[in-house]
Structure 1
Amino acid sequence: MSAMPAPGAPRTPPKVRRPAPAPRVPTPAGVVAAFQAEPRSPMIERDGDEWLVTFWWADADADEVLLFVNRLTDERDLDRSLMERLRGTDLWHLSYRMPGDWRASYAVVPKRPGRPAPWRDLAEQVSLRAALDRGLPDPLNPSTMRNRVGNTVSVVELPDAPAQRWLKPRGPLRGVLTEHELDGRRPWVYRPAEFVAGGPVLIALDGEMWVGEQSLPAMIDNVIADGLIRPPLVLLVPGGDRLRRWAELNGSGGMPDWLADVLLPWAVAGHDAGTDAADRVVAGQSLGGAVALLTAAERPDAVGGFVAQSASLWQEGLAERAGAMPASARGYLEVGRQEWVLLGPNRELHHRLAAADVRHDYAEFNGGHDYACWRDGIVDGLRAVLPPATAG
């Protein structure tokens, strides 16, 4: 077996200004009056063919308040995401006009008197992102999730956003979730109650994001119960800290070979994983989405399926490597319409795969680089690559 992938050189995505400013609009007086009569956040009101979404924050001590909404906030124009204070009150507000199928996570970052703004003078992208990722959830919004750094953030969704029917657990896990040690990692293995030895295998990257309150095992239980997929053995591979993740999940980190030569043989030997490459799927988001594509493209001897969500195709040469996918592969590719850096490259890859007769489903959702959206899309991906046997 090969060793754990050697760390590659960490790279960061290009910091590109939004091609058009986010659709911020003045908060109407009627919305202000409605909030004062019945506080709730965000307030969602129909506005013609779209919806007016108004966020509120109560904070008497803040000098400034930044509203960080996934992919509406432009990290190169943060002043445009500063909330406005309602004169004579401790209330701050900001309104956007959005289509009805939009969903996003968001957090609030206040500036305190006598202290520097957490988002200013941070020219280096990693430090800026760390400050924004530690924003505060909206206390008036009960809908929350955990972001990549483990921070609780809020979720806004409009009436036409795709229904996340499989997200909520319907009871205790029916299968068994166990944690293991392998080659310096601590992967989880979920064996659904319905899994049959030698059956399909799902590798989920950034596995720490899929255990706990946002449970991929629970979602898989739900779609199995609904008869929508063949029950897979699930291998949840942790991404580790920021530096390790950047090193190992970039296009030169060697992760596809580690999955094929270390993880899968281990799962066959100790967990009854199937050996048919056509029934082995790698699922990932962002950098993990790129790894899912590369594994299916470059290790077809071991993996035949991919679920790639918002794949980081900004990396030089990666789209070309992923586009060399064998026609035997089966996959699912999706990207957010708010992802101005990734939308074009993912569309281009979709067309390239279609021209090469690679069977795959392609989707665009109205959202950003966001687990609030990916936690629904991953189920769509599994339904595409692991349909029930009766589906043909």
Structure 2
Amino acid sequence: MTTLEQRAREEGTPVIDGETATFVWRGRKPVSVAGDFLDWSGEPIPLKEVAPGLWTHTLTLPRDSYVEYAFLDAKGRRVRDPLNERLTSNGFGDFNHYFHMPESRPTPLALRQRGVPRGTVTRHLVETHEFCVGSQRAVHLYAPPTSEPCPLVVVFDGPDYLRRSKLPSIVDNLVAQGRIRPIALAMVANGGPARTVEYTCSEATVVFLLDKVLPLARCELNLLDETREPGVHGVLGSSLGGLISLYTGLRAPHVFGRVLSQSGAFSVWNRDFVVFDLARNASSRPLDVWMDCGHFEALVEGNERMLPVLRSSGHRAEYREYHGGHNYSAWRDNVWRGLEWLFGTGKQGRREE
């Protein structure tokens, strides 16, 4: 009979059976586990000794969950799980382990597909004037493989969406499959230590987009004219980037009429941001707003409250939860849904990717 430890060594950890995932640790001293299932807050869960030197803990999770986790020793220091070689950056200079439940898989849209025309990505530096920290800010521009003018999507935390979420490849594949119209991207770097200040409903950030990023994009890309098609462009971001995306749309709806917010941090630190007040007021031009958020995140509550506020003010809004947490892998695997909803051709039908 195969033991749990044998399965862990053969299959990797956690050991998955249907809706359960069992973490396994072999060592003299115990470890605890933290992860998306706790929203990375509160006390880590200690593994229990089930045999001399063998420690386990079992979670029950939805069958389509994607989960990141870390083992911690008694002093709270990260310890690598030797039975799980799957690692991904946590965005803070370290790595998380990850796993997929039986009905979860990474989106194939993030992979380069043979025969699919590829857009081009170029790096630029723009003067920040007094709108942002530092004298210059990096912007990566993506031009889709088309000669026709197209909408622009400004992407906050641009380098992360470029490298970690593979956004250009996702757009290439969606366009090639006829699921969205061609779109251009302006992937804007954040301000590092100043990111929180820049992204928490900063009017200076909106002006930076309008006065610096948009002119650069107009010069380098073949864009539709927002003065002839008001609200044709979009904004995209996650967490505080989702917050500033919605704020940008509400403050400049005639330019950025399409908002894609992933895990939008509309209510944190025990307070609602001003986007709730702005959303309650009828806009001169209603927005199209797609919001999604991971089921394990505390940010779900703010997103659930935002949806009826937007709809009651005349905005076209949609909200979706998925079984995941607050990380770029989850945002990568779900961003296509928002892109289809905002820029779809009507040909995409029902898909699960």
Query: What is the deviation of 1:267?
Result: 0.9
Distance 1:230 1:59, change over 3 A: farther
Decide whether the 8 Å contact of 1:247 with 1:253 is kept in 2.
no
Query: Corresponding residue for 2:224?
Result: 274
Alignment of 1:182-331 (within 5 A): 182-183=126-127, 184-194=136-146, 196=148, 198-212=149-163, 214-241=165-192, 243-252=193-202, 254-276=204-226, 277-314=230-267, 315-324=272-281, 326=283, 327-331=285-289
Distance 1:305 1:323, change over 3 A: farther
Q: Tell me whether 1:106 sits opposite 2:65 in the alignment.
A: no
Distance 1:179 1:37, change over 3 A: closer
Q: Which one of 110, 113, 121 corresponds to residue 167 of structure 1? A: 110
Distance 1:345 1:104, change over 3 A: same
Query: Corresponding residue for 2:345?
Result: 388
Alignment of 1:349-368 (within 5 A): 349-368=306-325
Further displaced range: 323-332 or 371-380: 323-332
Partner SS, residue 214 of structure 1: coil
Further displaced range: 204-213 or 342-351: 204-213
Partner SS, residue 224 of structure 2: coil
Further displaced range: 329-338 or 32-41: 32-41
Distance 1:178 1:36, change over 3 A: closer
Decide whether the 8 Å contact of 1:323 with 1:349 is kept in 2.
no
Query: Corresponding residue for 2:123?
Result: 179
Aligned partners of 1:163, 1:325: CA distance in 2, in Å?
39
Partner SS, residue 182 of structure 1: strand
CA-to-partner distance for each residue in 1:9-63, whole Å, 9 max, x for gaps? xxxxxxxxxxxxxxxxxxxx986255367351121102xxxx1111234555xx4
Distance 1:345 1:65, change over 3 A: same
Query: What is the deviation of 1:272?
Result: 2.8
Distance 1:104 1:325, change over 3 A: farther
CA-to-partner distance for each residue in 1:282-312, whole Å, 9 max, x for gaps? 0000000011101111111321100011111
Please identify runs of 4+ aligned residues in structure 1 that moved more than 6 A. none
Distance 1:325 1:268, change over 3 A: farther
Decide whether the 8 Å contact of 1:296 with 1:325 is kept in 2.
no
Partner SS, residue 53 of structure 1: strand
Decide whether the 8 Å contact of 2:22 with 2:59 is kept in 1.
yes
Give unmatched runs, 5+ long, in structure 2.
Answer: 128-135, 349-353
Aligned partners of 2:73, 2:330: CA distance in 1, in Å?
26
Distance 1:390 1:103, change over 3 A: closer
Aligned partners of 2:79, 2:144: CA distance in 1, in Å?
36
Structure number with greater CO (CA < 8 Å, separation at least 6) is 1
Query: What is the deviation of 1:281?
Result: 0.7
Q: Tell me whether 1:83 sits opposite 2:42 in the alignment.
A: no
Distance 1:182 1:139, change over 3 A: farther
Aligned partners of 1:31, 1:253: CA distance in 2, in Å?
59
Decide whether the 8 Å contact of 1:279 with 1:386 is kept in 2.
no
Distance 1:68 1:255, change over 3 A: same
Query: Corresponding residue for 2:130?
Result: none
Decide whether the 8 Å contact of 2:287 with 2:315 is kept in 1.
yes
Q: Tell me whether 1:148 sits opposite 2:91 in the alignment.
A: yes
Partner SS, residue 330 of structure 2: helix
Q: TM-score under structure 2 normalisation?
A: 0.83
Give unmatched runs, 5+ long, in structure 1.
Answer: 1-28, 119-134
Distance 1:211 1:173, change over 3 A: farther
Query: Corresponding residue for 2:351?
Result: none
Decide whether the 8 Å contact of 2:165 with 2:329 is kept in 1.
no
Partner SS, residue 202 of structure 2: coil
Distance 1:85 1:45, change over 3 A: same
Distance 1:36 1:143, change over 3 A: closer
Partner SS, residue 231 of structure 2: helix
Aligned partners of 1:186, 1:158: CA distance in 2, in Å?
37
Aligned partners of 1:58, 1:177: CA distance in 2, in Å?
46
Decide whether the 8 Å contact of 1:202 with 1:282 is kept in 2.
yes
Query: What is the deviation of 1:275?
Result: 2.4
Query: Corresponding residue for 2:22?
Result: 54
Q: How many residues align?
A: 331
